[in-house]
Each structure stands twice: as structure tokens, then as C-alpha cells.
């Protein structure tokens, strides 16, 4: 049922994408050596539209990590490389690591959360309007709606949370809350509770670079807020588009698949 709902949502958003004038989505040419000129939409806001992708190893581990079977070595995206877990939460993180092959919600084809969706190893497309910024990920047809008006609902929990954005100068700031419990930040067992609160910042820094920052606050899991930071890179292949990626897993009980 969840996959059908997501697929239907993607179809609606796809219609909206086709309605956006191509000139608003195209890459603006920049003369070599010229000072960067921030592209803007018709309403004067920075144009964040395009197909972007993180090129790091955060999906395996958001902290610095060595190579292991099936895991490439990588530099972390956590500022300072320290995660201030509370003692009980640290024990849970260690248990998660021991059971990472099967315990990761991604391994069960559950929807990953925010900010993890932003650094999954798949492209994502950003589409803008004056009232809404949509993020369409290739991973499992995931769609985020960042509403630029209104408040968070008082009730309700979602894998991707509820996103409310505002512009601070040329940076899109997004407040995300109302998460479900038990979602992981990566495949190594770093996790959060349903008390997660994320503040994201999207800033164009060049024709093909978008700085993504996320401040994490979760008093049930961490003793203080912490931050991750990474560039997203524009994909520029001819005829590029976000394609379908269906996630399937096998459950031994009953031999059913989904």
C-alpha cells in the first residue's frame, strides 16, 4: 500500500514538472573565469532546480570509516566527526552495528528518513514554485514536499517527517519534524528517535554545486545538537532524468517478497 501511494504521488509531481517552463529548469551557461552569478526563478528566489547527487560514502557511515567487506573507506560528513550519543543510545547504536546487515530499515525496503534521503547513492531532482519545493529521489519513488507556508501539524508521524521551508537571504532553510521512530542515518547503525528535529540549509555555491547542511537535534538520543555538511553535485549527462528504482527484499517467513 505504501509503495502504491508513493507511486501515485510521483505521478502527480511528474505532471507538475512537465508544467515548469524548460528555461526555469535548464542549466545557465557561465563564461569561464567569470564571477558566479546566482540564477533566479521568476519570483526572484535562488534557482535550486536540477538533478543533483551526493558523491560521498555517508550512506555507509556518516562518520570517518575504514574499508570493510562491501564498504568503501570514506571521510565522514559530520562536522567534527563526533556524535554525542546519550549512554543508553550509544549501547543501542553498538547493537545496531552488530545487526547492521538485517537491522537497517533500508535493508527491509522501508523508506529512509531525512537527512538520509539526501545522500542516498541515487540522483534526486529539485523542482520549485513560489509555494512549494519538491524533492524527487530515484530511491523507491520517494517524494518530499517542502511547503513554504503553514505550520507543522500537531499530530502525525512520517518516515520523511513534515518539512516547512523559508528563505533566509539566498539560502533555503527547512525545518523538519514529526518523524517515526527507529530510522537510521546510515548502514552502520547510527540512528535517531521520533524526537528528531532537523534544520536543513540549501545554498547554491556555483553553477554545478549546492551546499547541503543539516543540524540534528534529538534529546532522546543525543546530549546536544550536531551538524552534517556536504556538497551536492549537478548531474549533467545528456537526456538525464530520474529513473525508477524499486526496492525488493525477501522474507524467509512464508517465503514472501515485497
Read off the CATH number of the domain in which 130 is found: 2.40.128.20
Is 30 within a domain?
no
Is 212 within a domain?
yes
Is residue 46 a contact partner of residue 38, using CB atoms and an 8 Å limit? yes
Is 31 within a domain?
no
Is 133 within a domain?
yes
Is 65 within a domain?
yes
C-alpha cell at 105: 530499515
Task: Report pTM.
Answer: 0.84
Profile the chain (258 residues) by mean pLDDT over runs of 10 residues: 43 42 44 79 96 98 96 98 98 97 93 97 96 96 95 94 98 98 97 98 97 98 98 95 83 39
The number of distinct structural domains making up the chain is 1
- Domain span holding position 218: 2-22+39-255
Is 32 within a domain?
no
Is residue 172 a contact partner of residue 201, using CB atoms and an 8 Å limit? yes
From residue 66, alpha-carbon distances to 19, 62, 102 in Å are: 46, 12, 21
Is 113 within a domain?
yes
Amino acid at each position: 500500500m505504501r509503495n502504491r501511494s508513493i507511486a501515485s504521488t510521483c505521478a502527480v509531481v511528474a505532471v507538475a514538472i512537465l508544467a515548469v517552463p524548460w528555461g526555469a529548469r535548464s542549466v545557465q551557461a557561465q563564461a569561464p573565469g567569470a564571477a558566479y552569478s546566482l540564477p533566479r526563478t521568476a519570483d526572484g528566489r535562488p534557482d535550486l532546480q536540477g538533478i543533483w547527487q551526493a558523491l560521498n560514502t555517508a550512506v555507509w557511515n556518516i562518520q570517518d570509516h575504514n574499508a570493510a567487506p562491501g564498504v568503501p573507506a570514506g571521510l565522514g560528513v559530520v562536522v567534527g566527526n563526533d556524535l554525542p550519543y546519550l549512554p543508553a543510545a550509544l549501547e543501542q547504536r553498538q547493537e545496531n552495528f552488530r545487526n547492521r546487515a538485517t537491522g537497517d530499515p533500508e535493508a527491509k525496503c522501508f523508506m529512509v528518513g531525512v537527512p538520509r534521503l539526501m545522500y542516498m547513492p541515487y540522483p534526486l531532482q529539485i523542482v520549485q514554485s513560489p509555494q512549494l519545493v519538491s524533492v524527487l529521489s530515484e530511491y523507491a519513488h520517494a517524494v518530499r514536499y517542502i511547503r513554504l507556508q503553514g505550520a507543522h501539524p500537531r499530530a502525525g508521524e512520517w518516515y520523511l517527517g513534515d518539512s516547512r521551508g523559508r528563505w533566509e537571504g539566498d539560502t533555503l532553510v527547512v525545518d523538519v519534524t514529526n518523524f517515526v521512530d527507529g530510522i537510521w542515518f546510515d548502514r552502520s547503525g547510527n540512528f535517531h528517535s521520533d524526537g528528531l528535529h532537523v534544520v536543513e540549509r540549501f545554498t547554491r555555491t556555483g553553477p554545478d554545486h549546492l551546499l547541503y547542511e543539516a543540524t540534528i537535534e534529538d534529546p532522546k538520543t543525543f546530549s546536544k545538537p550536531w551538524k552534517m555538511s556536504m556538497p551536492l553535485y549537478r548531474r549533467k549527462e545528456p537526456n538525464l532524468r530520474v529513473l525508477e528504482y524499486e526496492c525488493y527484499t525477501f522474507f524467509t517467513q512464508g517465503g514472501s517478497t515485497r
